[in-house]
Structure 1
Amino acid sequence: MKAAGESVNTNTGKLVPAYELEWVYPVWQLRFDEKAGLIAVECREADTLQTAFSVFRAKTGELLLRDYKPAKAWWQNLAANHNGILYLQGVSAKGVGRSVGITAVSINDAQVKWQQPEFSFHSLTGNTILALSAAGESTELICLNPETGEEMGQAGSMAACPEKAASLSAEESRAIMVPQHYPAENKYFTDLKLFVQNKTGFDALYAIDYLEHKNMLALGFYRPQENKLQTYQLAVFSLTGELCLQVDLGKDLSGIGTDNFFIFQDTLILVKNKKTLLGYEV
């Protein structure tokens, strides 16, 4: 992975990223800690069965944890990022059945704080990990201390306390601004397509992603390539229609997807070619 600073230039020169973070393996998933302003990244390479975890500050790109690799890297995934700790969930070797084992890793020193091999991670509230027994089919949630992993009693069944299970994930979701996805059959697609064509000269295909924040709006769209594949491009405008940024986030695409850009901590973050994150202050 490499990190670059403000010397990175854009196509237009009107909006320059505060940072650029690039990983060797594709970005698999992200987890957010709103209070700390941190983003945890899980990168995974299916061909070589390699997995690594990193944590950085959303506003500056400062890396607090770089390419942490558990002993059994492929069989761990990122469950949560909260209060200076990464929570990793064990995955069975065949990828079927209930997940097994929870590992808590300190972001500051990349040391394992605790492990609970008998439980599987379910969710995280503000002060409690909700876990399930890794054996059997029980739906009874167990409370674990997030700092120590110690059992703190039962929380009830999953059906009886959905608000506990959903609390932190809902908080995390509210902290992130994601674009509205408008497929071609949506009534607003035609107007957005016309705007894109007038401002960029490109013909938008299939779907357009729209995100408005403060004094800017961002449009992600697919434009055709000569080989019958498509490029996903992002264009950022001021509210008066001035083009501030135009950048390709993916090429040679055969389908459409989501999660190509979002806003967190007043920072527009772009996922480019599945391996690079670009951060812009907005």
Structure 2
Amino acid sequence: MWRMRLDSSTACLALEVRDPDLLLTSFYTLDTASLSLSHLDLPQTQAWWQGLEDAEHGLLYLHGYGNRQLGQHKGIAGYDEENKGKVWETAELAFYGIAKAGVLAYNPMQPEAPLQSLAPKTGMATGQSFTQQEAAEEVAHYSRTRYQDCLYPILYREGEAYFEQVRDFLREQLQVEPLQALEYAETETCLVISFYLEDTDGSLQNELAIFDLEGKLHQKVKIGSRLSGIGSDTFFIFKHNLYFILNKDILQVFRLLA
């Protein structure tokens, strides 16, 4: 499992799955209400050189590559989540983000030039343009509205005050010694913490723990092992459901206390 993106308008989860050994890439959509999984049918020779940027407005937005050696993104293609067909494509622009004004895109050959706004459903230019600072503010502002029902964890690194506080809580509750970083999210009923422990071979293992607000442990899962470093966004919460990737290849969903 390489990347997940939530379409807040349809409550569908877009998934990118890559196998670097076989050079295979697959894209899926998961209906978070029915938990039905659908596959986006693309030729494998084409799919490997595409990647998931985002999902919104009922579309998956995929990127291509300009410089494949450097991994430079170039090109945007919008695919319908329901019928899985390509709706629009632009070959010369690169995806920046989604704002109220539409899909914001830039020219990879002129990265300092103003960003353009594209209509989400058609890819046609709307005529609006934004400076880099304006684009960043527009995307951040729209994300707060877009993800109002979705909760992503906050990353705290070792040495930061909140890391120390949460580590002390885990020490007391679980008798563990978290290190390097942890991710924390709090709902009306639960505390969800993703943390790292040192394994016997010196690598890291990633564990996920769910507590109620009284500090009682309800679930603890090892979600990764033999890791060389930490990650981010190791889980997210959407409408009282907890989503996370187990061992890099299994999507699990837990229902949290409402």
TM-score range, shorter chain: 0.7 to 0.9
Is 1:41 aligned to residue 15 of structure 2?
Answer: yes
Match for 2:39 among 66, 78, 84? 66
* Contact residue 6 and residue 12 of structure 2 kept, 8 A: yes
Is 1:145 aligned to residue 119 of structure 2?
Answer: yes
Is 1:270 aligned to residue 232 of structure 2?
Answer: no
* Contact residue 125 and residue 168 of structure 1 kept, 8 A: yes
Is 1:123 aligned to residue 97 of structure 2?
Answer: yes
| Structure number, greater radius of gyration | 1
**1:94 aligned partner:** 68
Match for 2:172 among 185, 198, 201? 198
Q: Hey, what's the Cα distance between the residues in 1 that align with 2:11 and 2:246?
A: 21
Aligned letter for 2:93? Answer: F
* Contact residue 58 and residue 267 of structure 1 kept, 8 A: no
* Contact residue 212 and residue 218 of structure 2 kept, 8 A: yes
Aligned letter for 1:66? Answer: H
When the two chains are superposed, the root-mean-square deviation of aligned CA atoms in Å is 2.8
Q: Hey, what's the Cα distance between the residues in 1 that align with 2:214 and 2:71?
A: 53
**1:84 aligned partner:** 58
* Contact residue 215 and residue 238 of structure 1 kept, 8 A: yes
* Contact residue 140 and residue 154 of structure 1 kept, 8 A: no
Change (3 A) 1:232 1:135: closer
Change (3 A) 1:187 1:74: same
* Contact residue 61 and residue 279 of structure 1 kept, 8 A: no
* Contact residue 53 and residue 61 of structure 2 kept, 8 A: yes
For 1:1-282, list aligned pairs within 5 A.
27-63=1-37, 65-66=38-39, 68-70=41-43, 71-96=45-70, 99-126=73-100, 128-133=102-107, 136=110, 139-158=113-132, 162-172=136-146, 174-282=148-256
* Contact residue 98 and residue 104 of structure 2 kept, 8 A: yes
* Contact residue 104 and residue 135 of structure 2 kept, 8 A: no
Change (3 A) 1:201 1:168: same
Quote the sequence identity (%).
29
118-127 vs 264-273, which deviates more?
Answer: 118-127
TM-score, length-scaled by structure 2: 0.83
Change (3 A) 1:138 1:202: closer
Alignment deviations for residues 165-220 of structure 1 (CA, whole Å, 9 cap, x no partner): 55444544554322233333233444433432333333333333322111111222
Aligned letter for 2:39? Answer: R
Structure 1, unmatched stretches of 5+, are 1-26
* Contact residue 101 and residue 134 of structure 1 kept, 8 A: no
Aligned residues: 255
TM-score, length-scaled by structure 1: 0.77
* Contact residue 207 and residue 221 of structure 1 kept, 8 A: yes
265-274 vs 141-150, which deviates more?
Answer: 141-150
Q: Secondary structure at the match of 1:202?
A: coil
212-221 vs 172-181, which deviates more?
Answer: 172-181
220-229 vs 83-92, which deviates more?
Answer: 220-229
Change (3 A) 1:93 1:68: farther
Q: Hey, what's the Cα distance between the residues in 2 that align with 1:156 and 1:184?
A: 37
TM-aligned CA deviation for residue 35 of structure 1: 2.6
